[in-house]
Structure 1
Amino acid sequence: MCAETPDYKETLNLPKTDFPMRAGLPKREPAWLERWEKIGVYDRLREKEGRTPFTLHDGPPYANGHLHIGHALNKTIKDMIVRSHQMMGHDARYVPGWDCHGLPIEWKIEEQYRKKGRDKDAVDIVEFRQECRKFAEGWIDIQREEFKRLGITGNWPAPYITMDYHAEAVIAEEFMKFLMNGTLYQGSKPVMWSPVEKTALAEAEVEYHDKESFTIWVKFKVANEDTDLKDAQVVIWTTTPWTIPSNKAVVYGADIAYGLYEVTGTPEESWANVGDRFLLADNLAADVMTRARLDGDMWTRVRDVAADELAALDLKHPLHGAEGGEGEWDDLRDFRAAPFVTDTEGTGFVHCAPSHGMEEFELYRDLGMLESVLTYNVMDDGGFRADLPFFGGSYILNRKGKEGDANKKIIDKLVEVGGLLARGKIKHSYPHSWRSKAPIIYRNTPQWFASVDRAVGDGQDTLGTTIRERALNAIDQEVKWWPQTGRNRLYSMIEARPDWVLSRQRAWGVPLTCFVRKGKLPTDPDFLLRDTAVNARISEAFEAEGADCWYMDGAKERFLGGDYNVDEWEQVFDVLDVWFDSGSTHAFVLRDREDGTADGIADVYMEGTDQHRGWFHSSLLQSCGTNGRAPYRNVVTHGFTLDEKGNKMSKSLGNTIVPEEVIKQYGADILRLWVAQTDYTADQRIGPEILKGVADSYRRLRNTMRFMLGSLSEFTEADRVDVADMPELERWVLHRLAELDHQVRKGYAEFNFQGVFSAIFNFATVELSAFYFDIRKDALYCDGDTLRRRSARTVLDILFHRLTTWLAPVLVFTMEEVWLERFPGDDSSVHLIDFADTPADWLNEPLAAKWAGVRDVRRVVTAALEIQRTDKVIGASLEAAPVVHVRDAEVVEALKSVNFADICITSTIQVTNDPMPAEAFRLPEIEGVGVVFERAEGEKCQRCWKILPDVGQSGHDGVCGRCSEALG
């Protein structure tokens, strides 16, 4: 600049905003939380009239411990669903809830007792339950604040809590509906049992881990004397030696090829003897002999053994006649064909302990032989009954859930009596309690069940007469699944599931509010007391006093109410499976609350994929049993969160990501943005490097918003331009906005947050920042009060309203900051605003097609100039005046109809249909376009920096004609 040339910087319309480049989210977000609470955003949204309700029903987290990253993912997805539907015109309600009953809390209180040397069984049960309640209350308060810190909106002052008196009353009422409709029964069958926790478990309470187990090959002698197989022995294989004392039978496969095998030689150490004859499946015989340390030359196959020969045999238990056995195992064992036997593993024969295996139980149940084959050898703590010969008082697992002494004692005894052929160890996937992490067993105990295949006597048969029929039909007829794979998963589970085990042998929960007649069998028709008056008294008491009243002195007399002889009836004290609690929430939340739903059905249930066997499952069964239908219309499922390498998070591996730590470092919006950027329907990854990438995306988006704020400084309605009067470039932006509006609304309606954010982010960073803003900076900064500048600012205002509201469900704090920067005020909030309607005439397909061609040619020009910049021929694109050769005459006309020099950010440009010279720059993917570089001619305008011939010729020193006009 010459010394005499004025400095025109102050004459430019440069952006003006106090919106900071650095967000400072960790420190600033709590202030927005306080502000929303102060102005009552959630309650004010409820005051909007005439809106269609939309309810996401919260799957209750457990009130036990700080939040982990899975909680953050889960609650953030829910929040995005609620906020987006609210801004699309619904009355979107969200009542957060907590699951409070059950073993995890009870376990914590017991741990406290053990540390103090107290005996839980010596404590009054009501006192114990009160301590559990207090423990849950403390964690609810902690978790509530942790959820709120994530920016989760909802009715936080009045959540639903399963231990509230009304909730306990309704849970009992829902149970009593099963009592009254004929689906409740008491049965004795093998259930998954935790010896450590001394209770039955549901499938949803079980997880699978590798476990090393003993494995044994055991000999059962043929008892028949009138056959040439009289000296033979049937060999079985099992990984649960502890079930051998409860063996009642051996089964074989009717279609499996069996043979009689004889030992002809033995090594020095062997439990086989020369002359021993074994019955084995032919496909497995060689493997069994190898396990018994018998080489191929030490045994021979004698002959085939047909299935009808096997059917004629009886077997002796390996402990048959053992000295000191007191006749415990002297009855002959049943021997028959069964459909579940294979010859792919083991020996081709399966030992049956129907008290500890469901397939065996069902086999003998269907044969009507259960009474003769069930045993009760294993107690609730996993120990054998004290009077069981040889093994009484030994334990399958010790108090800490580790291997007990039972398996070793049984193996040693089998060796002693000559009943063992081989032994070893195997590592396999084995069920464990997800609470105590200890292995579980299958144990036959009397439990309370809800039948899924009995007719439900309630007359609500639209979807079927049984719970299973209703649930399967509801899955396909009443519910949409996001993703659809969730439907397949739950359907297959419901299709194959057994009856629902409702009872738990614990103290902290809602009791099974029923009475049974003393001296009657569960199969007797008058075994259960079914009386509406009794039920009503129970419900009324629970509503007023909570479930503790069931355990008070005189409870039986109170509830029977003088209508029955109390000596004839027994009160049940098992507690309900906590999945029944949470499965009943539709009744006391959706049905009963003012902010529930008119029909008691939620628009959305949203949880992790593990809830197909958990909350989705139990809620469907419970509602189908009491209401004849599903409690939800949509089910959305998310995957699990893994570390950056795809590994499961574990404290021992040191790869856990704690929400609190992420918030301290980056802020909750970065965590929310990570959720929006990930495909939550599959397992997702998170870690330091991933979070850095998320933070970078956030900064780019923040800069886009900052540019708009600065360029809209002092914008008023007087500056607004009608769409019809705008330049084509602005009308093209509005066309893209109309397309994006449809994409955003569809994405939010289908819970596709990754798709929504990706579309908005690409639009903001590629089509706006790198294209539209880049082009219009010149007009925004340098034009005077021109139509072009006012049009650009009008579009920026439209963009501002669209982007801030579209992004508000994701970046709840940042979009509030952006909004308040333009619209400050005590009651102002972006979260009180709906998505703006988009005029249909913004869509302009012919204009879009034209500008697609313009942008293609621009790409070639930009690439050509970048080479010149890299080679340091020019420093900026305004130093260029390229010649653009375009083969298509229509495209040439399109380029000449717009200010293509402004579009390419060059000082001038020439567009021609002339044949392109050989040296012209080309992009292979865009045919028919070539660019020849030329320098711009003239002087550099000291205001807009364009190089033009008219600089200094319009009344102001050192500026072009356009800038001179702007200066006046």
Structure 2
Amino acid sequence: MCADTPDYRSTVFLPETEFPMRAGLPAREPEWLARWERIGIYDRLRETAADRKPFILHDGPPYANGHLHIGHALNKTIKDMIVRSHQMMGRDARYVPGWDCHGLPIEWKIEEQYRAKGLNKDEVDVVAFRQECRKFAEGWIDIQREEFKRLGITGKWDDPYVTMDYHAEAVIAAEFQKFLMNGTLYQGSKPVMWSPVEKTALAEAEVEYHDKESFTIWVKFKVAEPADSALAGAHVVIWTTTPWTMPSNKAVVYGKDISYGLYEVTDTPEQCWAAKGDRYLLADNLAADVMSRARLEEGMYRRIRDVPVSELEGIKLSHPLAGAEGANGEWDDLRDFRAADFVTDTEGTGFVHCAPSHGMEEYELYRDLGMLTQVITYNVMDDGSFRTDLPFFGGKMILKPNGKEGDANKAVIDKLAEVGGLLARGKIKHSYPHSWRSKAPVIYRNTPQWFAAIDVKLDDGMGQYGDTIRSRALTSIDELVTFTPQSGRNRLFSMIEARPDWVLSRQRAWGVPLTCFVKKGAKPTDEGFLLRDDEVNARIIAAFEKNGADVWYTEGFKEEMLKGRADPEAYVQVFDVLDVWFDSGSTHAFVLRDRADGTPDSIADVYMEGTDQHRGWFHSSMLQGCATLGRAPYRQVVTHGFTLDEKGLKMSKSLGNTIVPEEVVKQYGADILRLWVAQTDFTVDQRIGPEILKGVADSYRRLRNTLRFMLGNLSGWSEAEAVAPHEMPELERWVLHRLAELDGQVRAGYAAYDFQGVFQKLFQFCTVDLSAFYFDIRKDALYCDGADSPRRRAARTVLDMLFHRLTTWLAPILVFTMEDVWLSRFPSEDDSVHLQDMPATPEGWLDADLAAKWARIRSVRRAVTAALEVQRTAKVIGASLEAAPVVHVADAEVARLLHGVDFADLCITSAIAVTTDPAPQEAFRLPEVPGVGVVFETAEGEKCERCWRILPDVGAHKHPGTCGRCNAVLG
């Protein structure tokens, strides 16, 4: 600037805003949380939205037993985005957070505390023990509540639902009693997944699969009868990965359609359990593999002949331990031998050993034959040990108390080898069920349990979707529920289609008891085995409402409940507790049905949880709802995947790759964690780690700069400045077109739970359409045009429209930042962006023809800006205003469009020439913009000291060093 040229900086409308460039989220977010609590924002929304259609996301309860992990943060943030977005799209979106409180994890913690004090849980009063469990859960609820709130999760935090509340326990018991009264409850003794470490039955939802190395053995069963059979003396060979089940063997089964052969050993190597002349019955497809396992090479055995399945009928086998010295006749009975549908020749030997007490398929086979009494054993105790009087193996442990391999497998293998019952042995690594709590392997064990029969016909007046629990569930999936992603439908359908009856009982202390009584001395199949009495049921529920489920365990409770209705001495009180999945599956009753902020039909709009909940909460809620409501308790199921580290590995403390939400919040702020959620495809597994979070923070900064520019250039705005859309320049009308497009896309995206799609579209719009295009072009008009300039007024009108839409569109994702943006413009003691709705956007703003025109203009502009960037990189120019390029356009129609706009203004050059002349060889060309060549030229004239354009008329006006436009503004 020349010494005699005035300083025009004070005449330029530079952006003014107190919205800081640096967010400072970790320090500032708690202030907004306190503010929202102070103004009671959640309850205010309920009041103002009272006449709206409700939208209810029912919260799948997390377990109250530890600090939040990254999966919790992902889950609750997705839920929050769903609730907030539906609220701002015009619904009364209610969210009542909840907690699961009963069950083994908490019980274990209290047992650990007792052991540390030298106390035995079984010697402590059960009510006192349960009170300790309750107190433990209460403490963690308070901790988790604050951790969830810190993530910006909105909800009824001052009145959540808790499964151990007295009313909740009463309702859970009442829901159980519906099973009691409708005939689906029964006591059965069948193989269930059993945790020897935890000494309780487990449901499929409580099991996870991990690799386990197991013993594997090939065992010989001699053909014993008929004695004159051509196969007498030959051995049927079975293969098993659970040697400990051999003492409970009662049969061997074969396949009806398998090709079998009789094989004879002709030679043996050293250290081989086979003997020359031995004959083995094997499936032909597996014979070579079995022989190699027995160390018999080709040439050491031969196939004698075919063995048709018809020849196997009527044969009886002897157990390999039959007649063993010291066995006391335990295994002397001949073993059954018959066909079964579940036998294959894809692995093993083509024959399957049956211990119906430890295998569901075998159990069902003999149940259907009416032979259970002949084949069920009770050899394995609660702790996974063999009964003490079992010959050879009494007291041996399948698993040690710490979950490690016990001595039972080795003892069985050694004994079988000793009596000549083994053909081969080895080890195999395979996927095996483990308890998700103790992480210890589980076993299948026959034990009396309480079940809900899912195929019993119900006569309850709710048969619209089927007359059994299973049929109602499958119909609900097909006709009543939508799934996001759709693959969730197939997963849930196949699980319910194939599942067995629901094991309801657990042999623990901390839970809602199975509130029923059984007749002393009666069998489960006897009439009147279960006491079914509406008055007794009502008394129990009333007692639970008043004092909680603990009263079930108080002295004299049975007598009080049965007084005048049944002889207390004739009935036994059941003390098993309900599967905790029954608790959470019943939540629709005491949350959706019973609360004022629920819904009378007990049906939620959406359940949203991780993909593991297809066998967990989605599943148990479906079964429970179909039994008591006649249908699924939800209309939509939304599923998210698991969270992995940056390399795609599962997080674990041992690998040191865990990401703790609290640490992310301390370093970056909760909005960065929320933005990570929004940027991921939550329907599949997501990755997170330090580098990924850095990238998220960078995206946040770019978005924040866009918002800051918008705020700065709205300083002093008033409605009096507003320009009607039809009076705006084309560039502004193009922005309105984009807003109208985005309005539909954002609403559709939020409705479909596609937060990634919503954010990508908004981020692209903010950074590409606005910051890199519209804002870049309009800076000059906003800064340098006169206050009443139609162009500047139109631009500020558009900024106002952008503000109201971007803040509300982004508010469900960036809850803290959008509050900051809103209050920066509209400071108020009791206002909030979260009290706003997404504004209606007129469809009339859509203009497809205008959009097509500007798409062609922007395409040519990209070629121009790329050409100028080459010159800037080469330091030929420092800024684009130093240029006056010549643009050669092959398409005359495109040239006409460019002549119809101020193309120099759009390209931020001081001048520009557009021609249809052929582009010279040296012209810059951009491959993706064919037919356009740019020849660089420098601008002619002097630099305007106010707007910095280089123009020929600078210096020829009243105000020194100005161009005509700036001179006119200065007056």
Tell me the residue number matched to 1:139.
140
Q: Is the 8 A contact 1:182 1:457 kept in 2?
A: no
The residue type equivalent to 2:214 in the other structure is S
Tell me the residue number matched to 1:36.
36
The residue type equivalent to 1:281 in the other structure is A
- How far 1:419 moved relative to its partner? 1.2
Q: Does the alignment pair 1:823 with 2:826?
A: yes
- How far 1:687 moved relative to its partner? 0.3
- How far 1:382 moved relative to its partner? 0.4
State the distance in 1 between where 2:346 and 2:75 align: 42
State the distance in 2 between where 1:242 and 1:175 align: 36
Tell me the residue number matched to 2:905.
902
State the distance in 2 between where 1:298 and 1:933 align: 88
Cα displacement string for residues 455-492 of structure 1 (whole angstroms, at most 9, x for unaligned residues): 12211000000011100000111111111111011011
Tell me the residue number matched to 1:279.
281
Q: Is the 8 A contact 2:889 2:932 kept in 1?
A: yes
Tell me the residue number matched to 2:759.
757
Q: Is the 8 A contact 1:886 1:929 kept in 2?
A: yes
* Matched position secondary structure for 2:605: strand
- How far 1:914 moved relative to its partner? 3.5
Cα displacement string for residues 41-99 of structure 1 (whole angstroms, at most 9, x for unaligned residues): 11110111421111100000000110000000000000000000111111110000000
Q: 1:10 to 1:189 in 2, by over 3 A?
A: same
* Matched position secondary structure for 1:780: helix
Tell me the residue number matched to 1:467.
469
* Matched position secondary structure for 1:140: helix
Tell me the residue number matched to 1:121.
122
The residue type equivalent to 1:121 in the other structure is D
State the distance in 2 between where 1:488 and 1:343 align: 28
Cα displacement string for residues 320-376 of structure 1 (whole angstroms, at most 9, x for unaligned residues): 111221111111100011111112211111110000001101111111111110001
Tell me the residue number matched to 1:2.
2
Instruction: Trace 1:551-562 onto structure 2 (pairs within 5 A).
Output: 551-562=553-564
State the distance in 1 between where 2:312 and 2:602 align: 58
* Structure 2 spans left out of the alignment, 5+ residues: none
Cα displacement string for residues 89-130 of structure 1 (whole angstroms, at most 9, x for unaligned residues): 111100000000011111111111122221111011111111
State the distance in 2 between where 1:458 and 1:416 align: 59
State the distance in 1 between where 2:132 and 2:921 align: 87
State the distance in 2 between where 1:856 and 1:230 align: 88
Q: Does the alignment pair 1:961 with 2:964?
A: yes
Instruction: Trace 1:142-181 onto structure 2 (pairs within 5 A).
Output: 142-181=143-182
The percentage of counterpart residues that share the same residue type is 78
Q: Does the alignment pair 1:14 with 2:14?
A: yes
Cα displacement string for residues 252-293 of structure 1 (whole angstroms, at most 9, x for unaligned residues): 112212222222222232222222222112222222222222
Tell me the residue number matched to 2:200.
199
Cα displacement string for residues 629-658 of structure 1 (whole angstroms, at most 9, x for unaligned residues): 111111100000000000000110000000
- How far 1:302 moved relative to its partner? 2.0
Q: Which moved more, 1:258-267 or 1:69-78?
A: 258-267
The residue type equivalent to 2:954 in the other structure is V
* Matched position secondary structure for 1:327: coil
Instruction: Trace 1:424-435 onto structure 2 (pairs within 5 A).
Output: 424-435=426-437
Number of equivalences: 968
Q: Which moved more, 1:108-117 or 1:362-371?
A: 108-117
- How far 1:446 moved relative to its partner? 0.9
Tell me the residue number matched to 2:239.
237
Tell me the residue number matched to 1:222.
223
* Matched position secondary structure for 2:961: coil
State the distance in 1 between where 2:853 and 2:272 align: 88
- How far 1:397 moved relative to its partner? 0.5
Q: Which moved more, 1:43-52 or 1:747-756?
A: 43-52
* Matched position secondary structure for 2:463: coil
Q: Does the alignment pair 1:840 with 2:840?
A: no
The residue type equivalent to 1:179 in the other structure is L
Tell me the residue number matched to 1:667.
669
- How far 1:870 moved relative to its partner? 2.1
Q: Which moved more, 1:789-798 or 1:416-425?
A: 416-425
The residue type equivalent to 2:964 in the other structure is G
Instruction: Trace 1:521-540 onto structure 2 (pairs within 5 A).
Output: 521-540=523-542
Instruction: Trace 1:754-833 onto structure 2 (pairs within 5 A).
Output: 754-785=756-787, 786-833=789-836
State the distance in 2 between where 1:923 and 1:291 align: 68
* Matched position secondary structure for 2:630: coil
Q: 1:855 aligns with which of 833, 855, 858?
A: 858
Q: Does the alignment pair 1:891 with 2:922?
A: no
State the distance in 1 between where 2:307 and 2:851 align: 81
Q: Does the alignment pair 1:734 with 2:736?
A: yes
Q: Is the 8 A contact 1:378 1:385 kept in 2?
A: yes
* Matched position secondary structure for 2:723: coil
* Matched position secondary structure for 1:394: coil
- How far 1:422 moved relative to its partner? 1.4
The residue type equivalent to 2:830 in the other structure is D
State the distance in 1 between where 2:319 and 2:329 align: 11
Tell me the residue number matched to 2:309.
307
State the distance in 1 between where 2:240 and 2:931 align: 76
* Matched position secondary structure for 2:303: strand
Query: Pairwise CA RMSD of aligned residues?
Result: 1.1
Instruction: Trace 1:600-619 onto structure 2 (pairs within 5 A).
Output: 600-619=602-621
Tell me the residue number matched to 2:932.
929
- How far 1:301 moved relative to its partner? 2.0
State the distance in 2 between where 1:724 and 1:312 align: 93
State the distance in 2 between where 1:656 and 1:393 align: 41
Q: Does the alignment pair 1:64 with 2:65?
A: yes
State the distance in 2 between where 1:892 and 1:219 align: 90
Q: Is the 8 A contact 1:643 1:686 kept in 2?
A: yes
Tell me the residue number matched to 2:417.
415
Q: 2:631 aligns with which of 618, 629, 632?
A: 629
State the distance in 1 between where 2:286 and 2:483 align: 45
The residue type equivalent to 2:726 in the other structure is A
State the distance in 1 between where 2:927 and 2:392 align: 86
The residue type equivalent to 2:281 in the other structure is L
Tell me the residue number matched to 1:184.
185
Q: Which moved more, 1:42-51 or 1:498-507?
A: 42-51
Tell me the residue number matched to 1:368.
370
Instruction: Trace 1:334-413 onto structure 2 (pairs within 5 A).
Output: 334-413=336-415
Cα displacement string for residues 612-671 of structure 1 (whole angstroms, at most 9, x for unaligned residues): 000000001100001101111111000000000000001100000000110111000000
Q: Does the alignment pair 1:865 with 2:882?
A: no
* Matched position secondary structure for 2:930: strand
The residue type equivalent to 1:114 in the other structure is R
Q: Does the alignment pair 1:23 with 2:23?
A: yes
The residue type equivalent to 2:753 in the other structure is F
Q: Is the 8 A contact 2:513 2:578 kept in 1?
A: yes
Tell me the residue number matched to 1:746.
748
Q: 2:948 aligns with which of 942, 945, 950?
A: 945
Cα displacement string for residues 890-941 of structure 1 (whole angstroms, at most 9, x for unaligned residues): 3223222221111010111122333434433332322332222222111110
Q: TM-score, with normalisation over the residues of structure 1?
A: 0.99
State the distance in 1 between where 2:636 and 2:747 align: 17
State the distance in 2 between where 1:395 and 1:918 align: 87
* Matched position secondary structure for 1:922: coil
Q: TM-score, with normalisation over the residues of structure 2?
A: 0.99
State the distance in 1 between where 2:210 and 2:710 align: 54
State the distance in 1 between where 2:924 and 2:229 align: 97
The residue type equivalent to 1:93 in the other structure is R
Q: 4+ residue stretches of structure 1 with deviation over 6 A?
A: none
The residue type equivalent to 1:344 in the other structure is T
The residue type equivalent to 1:10 in the other structure is S
State the distance in 2 between where 1:787 and 1:552 align: 82
Tell me the residue number matched to 2:681.
679
State the distance in 2 between where 1:683 and 1:833 align: 33
Q: Which moved more, 1:227-236 or 1:769-778?
A: 227-236
Q: Is the 8 A contact 2:472 2:626 kept in 1?
A: yes
Q: Is the 8 A contact 2:15 2:709 kept in 1?
A: yes
Q: Is the 8 A contact 2:594 2:600 kept in 1?
A: no
Cα displacement string for residues 713-749 of structure 1 (whole angstroms, at most 9, x for unaligned residues): 1111122111121111111101100000110010001
Tell me the residue number matched to 1:91.
92
Q: Is the 8 A contact 2:187 2:448 kept in 1?
A: yes
State the distance in 2 between where 1:258 and 1:480 align: 48
